Structure 1
């Protein structure tokens, strides 16, 4: 299957120490990447539209220490309770909107708690779900709460804030807001999607179909794998599986706003988090406070279109990497960028035909290699790591490639899995997009994707196979989001963002009635809090003072 490409902003928490004598330390970078979209079945990368298209999550292992700790001299917060807004809602919703949360100390000057939400917002008297939250209390004059989503879908906002606070937000926002991370329904510490055990996940993510890619027999193998996965999710998750869609999560977000005591929502969403934020604005325009949507998705795009545009984005990033590599002294390639792209294409084709065995018995095929390539493309600072990985694979060594793919998939070195982000990614995307597994349609889509991205496109195609036979179906429509009546919203886009290409930020900014686009001319996934003062100043001024740029600052 193709790599699921996710759109979560991956905070680099898996550091890769590149030395010839030391084993690379790959720490799972948490999302803000990846992507967001549906699932693709060519390579298994998590991608918004192609989960297996694996939106490549992640920012790779870069040599960068990200700290989520606040200064030690700050006082440890004591247990406290929330003060809901007390707004008038229906009697069925009142127990949720007016619940009082008890916060307890959970280390590093952070407080944690759990909120309750209805399983079905249309029938709130039935079962409930748990939503896990963590917050860092404002260190200065408090503006309110700022809820943060790192992307995915399936990324843990709880872990993002608890483990990478200074990557999620800068010191100015930490002074002015209670920074609140939360796991959306289906994710992590909240009521979570559960599917496979570790051994079954290995088979699902890394097994190589016996038939030739794109043939009827190959499609049948991939569809059976996906169908078995979905059946396990239904058995082990229960009724929750049908209610992890983004609309339900947006209703949860409004409830959390009220429970935290904020009359309007202040929100910072990365990657898939932009779709959640835009969905919220459309449902609750009068409750929009200050929303920043960084690394935007286009809510009107189909699964196939998401995959095609992301394939183009990653191929563009790959070319940028090669241009930089060839200009240096330690590049494993020679000649021009086009010649190097041809070499990479041949390498992918080679392992697709003849996978390379790893020491643990797994086989490195094209899908896993593509995931390993995409992982470091999330951030330009990780490009040297990509050179080392590609060089090693060309010499027949799979070690670093599997480290990268495992980091992307959240697989630990002992074969266990760090979290349920893969399961959640698929479960959410299968409810957020429509899918068509007609072989003729899939082959036409695959041809369009490969034409747009000749090197990696073929390995990101056939994403519909992942969700076409999912236990629960998409019931909505993919359409533009205008959010009429909402307060001004800031949309941030990076010109060569591979996971959420810039055209999506432009499109979302045009769609939203009250949006202002902030462009960052650069590489990598998402732009805020990544050492660009222009972007940071625009975002901080907007969130803290409500100052909306008169025009795009074009940072």
Structure 2
């Protein structure tokens, strides 16, 4: 039983998207005692001095994304290995919507993931003073989307086949089979992506790329809005370049002190909380597919999904609905209460032996397009996670994690736990990880803002509280059930405070709850 993707921003291919913004400098901003700007190393001058050649976004944006005709796109060059600036380079794809009024600067946006394309995030904040005062800039991080070279591990046919597989039980034979499959996946990533890209795909390099982007946009200091995994990027940037930050909003925070095991267990509890909230709402209706008895919703849910272990549900698509895709589709809808009606429809279909809605949701989550091709979202997610996080290589730890995950999220417990579990994919990843959990302590940062939602399933509330404390940031608490909230139409109170901060550098009121 594998934990869900930690740090996912909640927008598989456009359906559950909660994306956000960030902003840039102001002529009359208040004086703050901050660190001095970081000098540009001489060997990187040519990258920092680039001038983007903006053009139409045709050929940049994938079918699942959209940008208005006014958007412009460009590519800039960065070294794959910053320790070898004369070596191979990568091309990063940027998108831009120009400020419609008196311009303060650029606002760099990241939707999370890791592995999500960020080009369409340039539309975030439309119709607000942010769109008037800032050029809104999205980007595809290295290895992702329209940036090249791109991480590639599986062909579309291999991805379909992997998703259709019957889960292996946690028997010695099943564990060995799972671990062999993980090794095969890693070998394919190495063969198709190359060791150089895989070794330099992580947060460590992306924050350096972000500083190059800041410079080529002509901004003396960075304005940034990051969601979910984007908060990890923002935190790492603030740690490395504290003197290069003007304003930073981090929504749906990842706590940098947490190891992957603790993070997955906290996330499991968050998804259980979201499922419980959905079920409590559903049982109020006589036609709830989980019944009307709150005490029976988890057993009823398991009655619906457990048969898929052996027999996929029928779909109009010849693939059918596998067990893993059903669980993925359900989790997709738990990122926001706005999608509870979709989950009700999907579970009602499943009770009737059909799996079309859940399959569509799983396709969105996995980046599968209508023509059967895939974005590289999943492959990039795996590659980035495996270099960002320390690996669990002790079978006893893997077994304890599986047992505790089942206890934290009983709606996801298939009842087949044995106290043992396979080592996850990253345990045998072919390149070393490049960062480790640690507490952030940075002198000279300006005031930052962290937004955390009380019922966020993917990046639970306490992580935002903890991150704000480490950064000395202002904390905005959003009372709700969504994964991230800024500029997604869910909380005017949050948006107003963020706008005041980005435009005027006005800190939110202490203890603000929305």
Q: TM-score when scaled to structure 2? A: 0.88
Equivalent residues of 2:170, 2:422 under 8 A apart: no
Shift of 1:408: 1.1
Closer/same/farther in 2, CA of residues 154 and 139 from structure 1, 3 Å limit: same
Aligned to 2:165: 207
- Give the distance between the partners of 2:421 and 2:304, measured in 1 at CA: 21
- Give the distance between the partners of 2:13 and 2:192, measured in 1 at CA: 30
Q: How do residues 397-412 of structure 1 correspond to structure 2 at under 5 angstroms?
A: 397-412=354-369
Q: Does 1:118 align with 2:76?
A: no
- Give the distance between the partners of 1:172 and 1:203, measured in 2 at CA: 47
What's the secondary structure of 1:522's corresponding residue?
coil
Aligned to 1:5: 5
Q: Is 104-113 or 94-103 further displaced after alignment? A: 104-113
Shift of 1:7: 3.3
Aligned to 1:507: 466
Equivalent residues of 1:493, 1:505 under 8 A apart: yes
Aligned to 2:40: 89
Q: TM-score when scaled to structure 1? A: 0.82
What stretches of structure 2 of length at least 5 have no aligned partner?
21-36, 58-67
- Give the distance between the partners of 1:32 and 1:232, measured in 2 at CA: 31
- Give the distance between the partners of 1:323 and 1:87, measured in 2 at CA: 52
Aligned to 1:424: 380
Shift of 1:531: 3.2
Shift of 1:360: 4.8
Q: Does 1:516 align with 2:474?
A: yes
- Give the distance between the partners of 1:265 and 1:114, measured in 2 at CA: 19
Q: Does 1:544 align with 2:508?
A: no
Aligned to 2:346: 389
Q: How do residues 519-538 of structure 1 correspond to structure 2 at under 5 angstroms?
A: 519-529=477-487, 530-538=489-497
Shift of 1:351: 2.6
- Give the distance between the partners of 1:469 and 1:12, measured in 2 at CA: 27
Equivalent residues of 2:179, 2:423 under 8 A apart: no
Q: Does 1:242 align with 2:242?
A: no
Q: Does 1:453 align with 2:412?
A: no
Q: How do residues 24-173 of structure 1 correspond to structure 2 at under 5 angstroms?
A: 32=19, 89-106=40-57, 108-161=69-122, 165-166=123-124, 170-173=127-130
- Give the distance between the partners of 2:427 and 2:220, measured in 1 at CA: 40
Equivalent residues of 1:207, 1:363 under 8 A apart: no
Equivalent residues of 1:2, 1:462 under 8 A apart: no
What's the secondary structure of 2:101's corresponding residue?
coil
Closer/same/farther in 2, CA of residues 31 and 471 from structure 1, 3 Å limit: farther
Q: Does 1:444 align with 2:400?
A: yes
- Give the distance between the partners of 1:337 and 1:491, measured in 2 at CA: 35
Equivalent residues of 2:18, 2:484 under 8 A apart: no
Shift of 1:346: 3.4
Q: Is 328-337 or 537-546 further displaced after alignment? A: 328-337
Equivalent residues of 2:114, 2:385 under 8 A apart: yes
Shift of 1:133: 0.2
Aligned to 2:216: 259
- Give the distance between the partners of 2:404 and 2:414, measured in 1 at CA: 9
- Give the distance between the partners of 2:274 and 2:376, measured in 1 at CA: 28
- Give the distance between the partners of 1:482 and 1:329, measured in 2 at CA: 53
Q: 2:281 aligns with which of 320, 324, 328?
A: 324
- Give the distance between the partners of 1:540 and 1:274, measured in 2 at CA: 18
Q: How do residues 361-380 of structure 1 correspond to structure 2 at under 5 angstroms?
A: 362=319, 364-380=321-337
Aligned to 2:65: none
- Give the distance between the partners of 2:102 and 2:163, measured in 1 at CA: 47
Aligned to 1:283: 240
- Give the distance between the partners of 1:159 and 1:463, measured in 2 at CA: 37
What's the secondary structure of 1:154's corresponding residue?
coil
RMSD: 2.3
- Give the distance between the partners of 1:321 and 1:468, measured in 2 at CA: 35
Shift of 1:2: 3.1
- Give the distance between the partners of 1:235 and 1:447, measured in 2 at CA: 34
What's the secondary structure of 1:504's corresponding residue?
helix
Q: How many residues align?
A: 482
